[in-house]
Amino acid sequence: MPLRFTGVCLAAAVASMAGILSALSATHADPWWAHAVTYEIYPRSFADSNGDGVGDLNGIAEHLEYLKALGVDAIWIAPMFPSPQVDFGYDISDYRSVDPQFGTLADLDRLQAEAKRRGIHLILDLVLNHTSDKHPWFIESASSRENPRADWYMWSDGLPVDTPGLAAIQRTNAVDGRVPPNNWTSLFGGSAWEWVPARKQFYYHMFYKQQPDLNWCNPEVESAMFDVMRFWLDRGIDGFRLDAIQTIYEDPKRRNEPQLERTDGSPPPTLDQIIASKIHTVNLPELHGLMRRMRALVDSYPGNRVLVGETYLANIAELDQWYGGAAKDELHQPMNTLIGFGDGATYSAAWFRTAIAQSESGLHGSMPLFVFDNHDNPRSIDRFGDGEHDTAIAKGLAAVLLLPRVSALTYYGAEIGMRTNTPKRREDVRDPIGIVGWPREKGRDGERTPMQWTAGPQAGFSSNPKTWLPVNPDHVSVNVATERADPASLYNWFRHLIALRRTEPALRDGNTIMLDKSDPNVLVFARVAPSTREVFVAINMSGETRTVEVPPAAVGNARLKSLVASDPQARARANTFFLPPFATIVAAADNGTLHN
């Protein structure tokens, strides 16, 4: 039996379209980032130009034509600043240069110029919450209690070791008769406080002990970091992805966090539970004032520079706050990680229908930024796949990522279906999280393996047989060269969808309208804009063949015309979609529009 939209659903959808069309404001004068596809590059894993087994900036430059052909508008480069590499670049020791293993400032300038020549913007990853313990600021701060930067980091005398009511985590870190001032823990395990004999004090670190947190309550710290931003903005960088931006401020009273310690033998708390419990160190209200000041700084530069936030939030209302709500005066693009990484995320029509609708209605009209993949999480093809239809599911995910009214953020290799290659032995782990937490926590190496360019040695990533992480053995079939030559590949599907975003006005300027709110198997939505044809997207998220009828009123006098389909058996005829298992089809309302 075909699935049909009810009359009530149809009437609501058409009424919604009419109301939204009158309020549409997107134009081609929008800032470039409002419609961008941004491509995250983990620099040590993308391309090695000098044969040392580690990717570099010149390697990225050598593949700019690939990125242009794919259709990306911007690249975000994970930290390439000088660093001891304890956390692979997220422990920065110099904010104004390039780590020699990645190249030089001149190499970055050339990369930027070549990217600009191809219409590709460049975004840098800026770590504001903490520095490396090898940064000159921290070395000076840790040397005494009287130096000019003594208050640039979070220091505490701690408590006497015999203080009543201490948490267990405090007792494990007793030094010189003192213990940490509270029960705050590092996200990477253990107490978040580390003792420094020279000061006879503890410093706070949300992450590794080699990453001391800056004291943003000190105006000198904010001034220094704003100067860092100006340094890169003056060099023409198009914007910043702000790492760990939710953790910048801490409770000045340093009150204990809610206890998550397990004493009954139950499983240890998950990372999400740990983050949610950090009510005194994550998402403090002071952040929003800082974001407004930062936004004003970036907006003072020409060229629509952009602030992208690493934001893991509980709901769409919290995400809206990071835009600045109705004022829209904070981050330009806080990441909507709810859709790809939220609790309960699953490959189902209900999940994505709700997530898309919330982003459409709950952000005061701000442009959502969807993300399904990054360097900290197993790849989406593994998280959402069923082990049998993974490529088809990845094509459906790409449609959800790219075809609603959103900006899109993807990650190197997602376009070819690269998989998470988790280490099998502790001795193979490079990520310190995995080294410390093995076997329960295996680290993040699996999602950071070298880009798979060819079926040849080292997947074409490097001439060195000893790459910094091993290449996934599946590169013999999953690689750029093979997929470029296959019209039905995931790579070509990504390329077609990105091209449609540019060539179909409704996919650029239209709002997203859900045409059915109850179908448990098929996600169907329309992109609708004034004076142009509608575009319809239908994604079968089930293992059964489905037929979906779009009532004639939804297409007016037009008929559906297929633009691209993930399965050769998928078709659009008249007002009906025919969808094999896990198939996706994009169609236009040919020879007509719903509203003019």
| DSSP 8-state assignment for residue 130 | B
Cross-strand bridge partners of residue 243:
127
Catalytic residue among 310, 445, 519, 534: 310
Catalytic residue among 238, 243, 445, 509: 243
Q: What is the largest CA-CA distance in the chain?
A: 82
The DSSP element (H or E) to which 411 belongs, if any, is strand 407-411
The DSSP element (H or E) to which 113 belongs, if any, is helix 105-117
CA–CA separation, 191 vs 179, rounded Å?
Answer: 10
Query: Is residue 243 among the annotated active site residues?
Result: yes
CA–CA separation, 417 vs 483, rounded Å?
Answer: 10
Task: Compute the residue count for the chain.
Answer: 596
Q: What are 529's two structure tokens?
A: 């804009």
Query: Is residue 534 among the annotated active site residues?
Result: no
Measured CA angle at 397 (ends 245, 15), to 5 deg:
90
The DSSP element (H or E) to which 105 belongs, if any, is helix 105-117
CA–CA separation, 194 vs 154, rounded Å?
Answer: 11
- Residues with Cβ within 8 Å of 319's Cβ and at least 6 positions away in sequence, in order, are 311, 313, 334, 336, 338, 362, 363
Q: What are 313's two structure tokens?
A: 């939030």
Cross-strand bridge partners of residue 214:
153
CA–CA separation, 26 vs 48, rounded Å?
Answer: 40
- Supply the Cα-derived Rg of the chain in whole angstroms: 25
What torsion do the CA atoms of 399, 403, 409, 412 make, to the nearest 10 degrees?
40
Phi-psi region of 172 (alpha: psi -120 to 50; beta: other; left: phi over 0): alpha
Measured CA angle at 310 (ends 450, 92), to 5 deg:
65
Q: What are 31's two structure tokens?
A: 């800032």
| DSSP 8-state assignment for residue 587 | E
CA–CA separation, 111 vs 235, rounded Å?
Answer: 12
CA–CA separation, 152 vs 138, rounded Å?
Answer: 8
The set of catalytic residues is: 243, 310
